[in-house]
Structure 1
Amino acid sequence: MKQRMLGKTGVMVSEIALGCWQLGAVWGEPFNPEIALNTLKTATSQGINCLDTADVYMGGESERAIGRYLQTLDEKPFVITKMGRFQSPHIAAGYHEDNLRRFVKQSLKNLQVDALDMVLLHCPPSEVYDTPEVFESLDIIKADGLIKHYGVSVETVEEGLNAIQYPGVEAIEIIFNMFRLKPAEHFFLEAKKQNVGIIVRVPLASGLLTGKFKKDTQFNPNDHRTYNRQGEKFDMGETFSGVNYNTGLEAVEELKKVFPNESLPLIALRWILMFDAVSTVIPGASRPEQILENATASLLPPLTEAQMKQVEAIYNQYIRPLVHHKW
């Protein structure tokens, strides 16, 4: 597994990390601790040394499963966790120091560590980026030794640009994939100037870019790919990257023509790694077999210039008019 530097943290992370949203469970199904443990073991056995989770994933079970696994290891992976979404209502005013400390302490307990490797604000309201006190509080908590590094998980390029103006921000987690090209236009350049790491989330557009879905594919009723297609529960861009499902299927068929003898999900991951601003990519996995496949993306040869242009052309034709201006 190849590694890259995570911005100004000084930490080398595997190009392919593990997103732990559905750790030990398929979206919408019960958490399975045994599958979670096997998934984590498989990840580290493949050289994956970076895990991405959040305090709200599986009601805290994702963090707790990682915490239990960490206790069995001498050489521990770098764990990124996110905080803030437990607030109800989820408002900017809730991002004050007392709450941030409370969130951090709960994650410390769940993960069974003395300090968090990295904590990200979890897609906070836009007003947070105009509130210096939030980032000053994170600096204080870091100085107290409770966190080693911090950053922000964002919904939009604009939020990312606002966040990297704060010197304490060391990484931005952002949606970037073949159906979401906007971050590569300007944001990546600015992040590199600030030496801010880029963590890519939703790399397979909620599974669309696996090429395995059809028009009649049915998802679990509790799966966000069923109930959040129009942004009913949270930002629409989180589900299929905000792309209309049927339009996404049409674009996928065109991508298959560009890569007729390749595994589309692996190509989609390798495509992301073509951008040197990217530090790591966090595809999720609900079973160990998916990790074994995803990990090989780091070893694929670079895509050709012609292939990169063809991907962009498909995006411009099918996807750009629908999503580019939104995120």
Structure 2
Amino acid sequence: MRTRILGRTGARISEIGFGAWQIGGSWGDVSEEEGKRALNAALDSGVTFIDTADVYGDGRSEKIIAAVLKERGGEGPFVATKAGRRLNPHVANGYTGATIEAFIDRSLGNLGVETLDLLQLHCPPTEVYYRPDFFGALDQLVTKGKIRNYGVSVEKVEEALKAIEYPGVATVQIIYNIFRQRPHELFFAEANKKNVGIIVRVPLASGLLSGKIGKDTAFAADDHRNFNRHGEAFDVGETFAGVPFEAALEAVEQLRSLVPANVPMAQFALRWILQQDSVSVVIPGARNEAQARSNAAASALPPIDDATMAAIAALYERLIKVHVHQRW
């Protein structure tokens, strides 16, 4: 497993992390034991970065992580969590130092730690990024010792660019994959200048870039790929990367010819992301041990050649860009 530095946190972490949304909820039925086995498989494969959130299963994901790490003992991985989406309604004026501190206290309990390695704002309304007083409150929470670092999880490139104007923002989590290429046009370079760590989520476009989803694939009622297909519950960009399902399936079919015969498409899609040196870590999720091991194995793949990279860029321009590029 190759490693990279997580921006100004200074932490050296695995370039493939473990996204713990699936083991919390909203991805169909994943039992607690399945979740534990998936996480253990990732850690056994060299993963040293875990990303979760307080709303994944209403704390279930954080508690599963705590149980696994307690059982394993020894030096633990870097664990990042997120807060803010517990606000109801989820509006900008709900983001206060006191509110976030209360959410942090809950996560500290769920994870069984005294200090969070990294607290990320969980896709707050755009207005929040224009409130320096609130980011000052986050600085105070670092001083109090409740968090070592803080960052933001964003929906839009605009939000990411605004966030890194604050010197305390150590990381930005953003959607980036073969179907969402805009971040590498400007944002990655700007983040690199400021030594901001980049955490890439939705790397497989909710499974589309595994090549295993077809037009007849059925999703469980409690799977966001069913109930958030058109953005009914949260930003539609989180589901299938915001690409209309049929257009995405057509692009996946054309992508197949670019994937080496002996490489799973999911690993190929992760390797594409890792071509960007500015990326600190990519956080695919996993429902089971096999997926977790396969994701981790992507770190060992050789770089994708220039001709193939150009072909992927052309595919994006031809089939995907019109649907997503200016929206996020």
Match of 1:326 in 2: 327
Task: Give the match's secondary structure for 2:124.
Answer: coil
Displacement, 1:232? 1.2
Deviations 1:282-321 (A, max 9, x none): 0000111101111110000000000100000000000001
Cα distance in 2, alignment partners of residues 115 and 283 from structure 1: 25
- Do structure 1's residue 289 and structure 2's residue 315 form an aligned pair? no
Distance 2:165 2:274 in 1: 25
Output the amino acid matched with 1:269: L
Residue of structure 2 equivalent to 1:304: 305
Question: Is the contact between residue 24 and residue 34 of structure 1 (CA under 8 Å) also seen in structure 2?
Answer: no
Mark the runs of 5 or more structure 1 residues left unpaired by the alignment.
none
Say whether residues 1:116 and 2:116 are aligned partners. Answer: yes
- Greater shift in the superposed pair: 251-260 or 194-203: 251-260
For the 8 Å contact 1:199–1:282, the answer to whether it is kept is yes
Match of 2:173 in 1: 173
State how far apart, in whole Å, the 2-side matches of 1:300 and 1:6 are: 21
C-alpha displacement at 1:260, in angstroms? 4.9
The gaps in structure 2 that reach 5 residues or longer are none
Q: Residue in 2 aligned with 1:218? A: 218
Contact persistence 1:46–1:295 (CA under 8 A)? yes
Q: Which deviates more from structure 2 when the two are superposed, residues 52-61 or residues 62-71?
A: 62-71
> Contact 1:225–1:240 at 8 Å: present in 2 too?
yes
Name the counterpart of 2:139.
139
CA contact (8 A) 1:46 1:292 kept: yes
Residue 299 of structure 2 aligns to a residue whose secondary structure is helix
Distance 2:100 2:138 in 1: 8
Q: Structure 1, residues 183-225: CA drift from partner, whole Å, max 9, x if none?
A: 0000000000010000000000000000011111111122111
Deviation at 1:25, TM superposition (A): 6.2
Q: Secondary structure at the match of 1:59?
A: coil
In the alignment, which residue of structure 2 is the partner of 1:69?
A: 68
- Once the 2 structures are TM-superposed, how far is the Cα of residue 70 of structure 1 from its aligned partner? 2.2
Q: TM-score, length-normalised on structure 2?
A: 0.97
**What are the within-5 Å matches in structure 2 for residues 141-290 of structure 1?**
141-261=141-261, 262-290=263-291
The separation in 1 between residues aligned to 2:16 and 2:221, in whole angstroms, is: 30
Aligned 1:44-63 pairs, distance under 5 A? 44-63=43-62
More off after superposition, 15-24 vs 2-11? 15-24
SS of 1:178 mapped into structure 2: coil
CA–CA distance in structure 2, aligned partners of residues 229 and 23 of structure 1: 20
CA–CA distance in 2 between the matches of 1:176 and 1:275? 11
Distance 1:142 1:24 in 2: 27
Instruction: Tell me the CA shift for residue 28 of structure 1.
Output: 2.7
Q: What is the CA–CA distance in structure 2 between the aligned matches of 1:138 and 1:65, rounded to whole Å?
A: 26
- Contact 1:6 1:197 survives alignment (8 Å): yes
1:140 shift after superposition = 0.1
Aligned mates of 1:17, 1:6 — CA distance in 2: 12
> In terms of mean alpha carbon deviation, does 253-262 or 168-177 score higher?
253-262
* Distance (Å, rounded) in 2 between the aligned partners of 1:183 and 1:71: 37
SS in 1 for 2:207: helix
- Per-residue deviation, residues 245-292 of structure 1 (Å, max 9, x unmatched): 010010001110112513111000000000000000000001111011
CA–CA separation in structure 2 for the residues paired with 1:134 and 1:125: 13
AA matched with 2:4 = R
Q: Check whether the contact 1:24–1:287 (CA below 8 A) recurs between aligned residues.
A: no
Separation (CA, whole Å) in 1 of partners of 2:260 and 2:63: 41
RMSD after superposition: 1.1
Task: Report the residue type matching 2:297 in the other structure.
Answer: T
* Preserved CA contact (<8 Å) 1:243 1:323: yes
TM-score between the two structures when normalised by the length of structure 1:
0.98
Instruction: State how far apart, in whole Å, the 2-side matches of 1:215 and 1:64 are.
Output: 35
- Checking the alignment, whether the CA contact within 8 Å between 2:39 and 2:292 is kept in structure 1 is no
Whether contact under 8 Å (1:19, 1:51) holds in the other structure is: yes
Secondary structure in structure 2 of the residue aligned to 1:124: coil
Contact 1:6–1:279 (CA<8 Å) still a contact in 2?
Answer: yes
1:30-69 deviation digits (Å, cap 9, x = unpaired): x522122212211111110000000000111000111122
Stretches (4+) displaced over 3 A: none
Distance (Å, rounded) in 2 between the aligned partners of 1:26 and 1:135: 30
Q: 1:269 to 1:263 in 2, by over 3 A?
A: same
Contact 2:24 2:59 in 1 (8 A): no
